[in-house]
Amino acid sequence: MTTLTPSDKALVPFVSVDNMMRLVHHIGIEPMLRGLADYIEADFRRWELFDKTPRIASHSAEGVIELMPTSDGEVYGFKYVNGHPKNTAEGLQTVTAFGLLANVGNGYPVLLSEMTVLTALRTAATSAMVAKYLAPKGADTMAMIGNGAQSEFQSLAMKAICGITTVRLYDTDPAATAKAARNLSGMGLSVVACNSAEESMEGAQIITTCTADKQYATILTDNMVGAGVHINAIGGDCPGKTELAPAILQRADIFVEYPEQTRIEGEIQQLAPDHPVTQMWEVINGTAKGRRSPEQITLFDSVGFAIEDFSALRYVRDHIEGSGLFIDLDLLADPDDPRDLFGMLQRAAPA
């Protein structure tokens, strides 16, 4: 990891939303998506080094607030994130987040960053990184079902990393589809607005579902899914929230990030606790098989995991030094004598 060296050891680099957006444009959105995917893939290859635990969730009727911690033994990271589907109707984001990296050796934070924009980027980068291993060879078309805040990021990541050329959009809200189509115009994709989920899936080798309602939903029924497709299911991400008919899960080979979390929050919460799944890190390091045949249905039951956020924060930390796209926060008390915190407070009293 690059080590940032602010002028004062107690100052912590902070990447605001404004600076994150500037960083994306400074690097370029597709190069950044590829870079994030490379960092995530590299950390999946060293998966066994990380502390792993299901995210710590506080659920309410309105949504969920979660902490997602991990460490590779040298650096600790966590993300604070919420998920409140009703927020959209009130003009608020469904998901907001921030994250932190800290030095394990002394416990000092070394980066604080917004993660609302960064989570959208890392989620899309993870989807496309996985699809690189699981999607049918030569896949060029994706159905994007659910055209909310993730849809453009998912589409561009699949273009940048997997080479898709066409995205077929569908949302129950036509205004969301129009928004996504407008945002993707001129981005190098053929964009098709569709009137139903079935229509969006015509000719698609990759099917991405990303809906927001917190309920057991059936966005895809069994008869909608033919042989040979890759399903990227990213909308079901908490207990009681799913998108796929159970029969699809029975027909598909299922790939997950961390089973202990996915069995609680993912599509597989609908299945028996011992239903077989494959962990993606094993596919990436070659100890498990991914796609084995053209007829196989592969399903990435993605709920997001802390290591992906760690990777994204690591990427940001390595790319902001020298950019000027952060500010130093006076976040940590740093008395000259570490034992004299009270003396430092007294010396700060007004004259």
Active site residues: 237
Token pair listed for 89 = 């109707």
* Contact of 164 with 131, CB cutoff 8 Å: no
DSSP alpha helix (H) spans, 191-334: 197-200, 246-251, 259-265, 280-284, 306-320
Residues 341, 345, 347: CA angle, nearest 5 degrees: 115
Amino acid at 83: G
Give the Cα separation of 145 and 172 in Å (integer). 9
* Contact of 277 with 298, CB cutoff 8 Å: no
* Contact of 244 with 236, CB cutoff 8 Å: yes
Token pair listed for 317 = 């930390």
Tokens 């009727």 appear where?
Answer: 61
* Contact of 292 with 75, CB cutoff 8 Å: no
Pairing outcome for strands 327-330 and 11-15: antiparallel
Residues 42, 14, 17: CA angle, nearest 5 degrees: 85
3-class state of residue 45 by DSSP: helix
